[in-house]
Structure formats: C-alpha cells, structure tokens
C-alpha cells in the first residue's frame, strides 16, 4: 500500500512536555540533517474538503480535527485534511482501511510524507493507534479519532471481529 499525505509546520511551546510539538520539531531537525527541507508555510484549508465528514480526537497531547471523505477512484480509501490544536494551516491526509486495519499518511507541504498513522478500527468506527515520524521512527505518538456523525471509516464487519476473537 502506498499513501501520500502531508503534514504541517513545527509549533512552539509544548504544554505537556513530550507531545506532538516536540515530535514535529524533532522530525524537522532530522529531515534538515538529512537534507529534507521543512514546509515553508502552513497549507491553507482546501474548500473542496469543507463539507467532508468530521472526526475529532487527540494526537499525543494535542486536540485534532479531521475532515475526511472517500476517494471516488479507489475502494476502501479516503483523503482529506486535519488541523492540530490552534496551529495555523492544515495537513493533508490520505489513507486506507480494511477490516480492523487503518493506515494513513500526512503531508505538511503537499509533496512529501511527514507522518505515518497506523491503527485499528473498533466497532464504533473509532480508530486508535500510533503516529510515527517517517524520517525517525523512534519519534511516535498515540492517537485516537472518532467520527462526529457520518462515518467514513466503517467498523469491521461482524465476521472479521468474530474470526479475530476465535483465532480463525
């Protein structure tokens, strides 16, 4: 599976010590050391994503709000954007799901991957997992996202949940 996702600029001042802001700063420092420039400016929200279904949750210690919708040309895939706390701009998203598995990438500049999301989908369509910096996999944060109303990421099919429980 290949995903292209975009992330946002580094933020100043963590509230809880090690959180998303520190992870972003560490990732940007790693990218700079490897010759990968940081995003020059925050990406503006895309008008075509404004009406997409909303998910909310947390990434590390920061609140996040996602607008995601199904891709018209690919089955079990979605795209959109998210905001992080009060940070300016958005980060672009693209992802896929199958049964209980969730994979997503983000991009802060619309070109390179700046974060990888991997998690599991529960019976309500909520997703829990880990965000990882693509340039330094030792930098990771937990995330939880939940649908507000319409679900884009469906809960696993009952047969998938039964087989996972029964070990088949």
Q: Is residue 11 part of a domain?
A: no
CATH of the domain at 44: 2.40.128.120
Name the DSSP letter for residue 32: H
CB atoms within 10 A of CB 30: 16
Distance (Å, whole) CA 143 – CA 83:
14
Q: Is residue 4 part of a domain?
A: no
* Chain mean position to CA 101: 14
Instruction: Please compute the mean of the pLDDT values over residues 125-149 and round it to a whole number.
Output: 95
**Structural domain boundaries enclosing 139:** 20-166
Q: Is residue 131 part of a domain?
A: yes
Residue 27: its pLDDT value, please? 64
Q: Is residue 5 part of a domain?
A: no
Overall pTM > 0.75: no
Q: Is residue 62 part of a domain?
A: yes
pLDDT digits (tens, 9 = 90+) for 6-17: 333 334 444 444
pLDDT digits (tens, 9 = 90+) for 57-92: 999 999 999 999 999 887 889 999 999 999 899 999
Q: Is residue 10 part of a domain?
A: no
Q: Is residue 9 part of a domain?
A: no
Number of independent structural domains in the chain = 1
């Amino acid at each position: 599976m290949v995903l292209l996702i975009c992330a946002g600029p580094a933020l100043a001042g963590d509230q809880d010590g090690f959180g998303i802001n520190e992870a972003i700063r560490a990732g940007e420092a790693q990218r700079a050391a490897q010759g990968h420039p940081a995003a020059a400016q925050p990406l503006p929200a895309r008008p075509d994503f404004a009406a997409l279904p909303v998910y909310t949750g947390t990434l590390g210690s920061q609140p996040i709000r996602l607008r995601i919708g199904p891709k018209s040309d690919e089955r079990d895939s979605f795209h959109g954007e998210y905001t992080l706390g009060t940070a300016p701009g958005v980060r672009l998203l693209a992802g896929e799901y199958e049964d209980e598995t969730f994979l997503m990438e983000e991009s802060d500049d619309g070109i390179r991957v700046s974060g990888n999301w991997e998690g599991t989908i529960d019976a309500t369509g909520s997703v829990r997992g880990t965000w990882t910096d693509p340039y330094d996999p030792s930098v990771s944060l937990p995330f939880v996202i939940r649908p507000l109303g319409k679900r884009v990421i469906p809960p696993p099919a009952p047969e998938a949940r039964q087989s996972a429980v029964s070990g088949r």
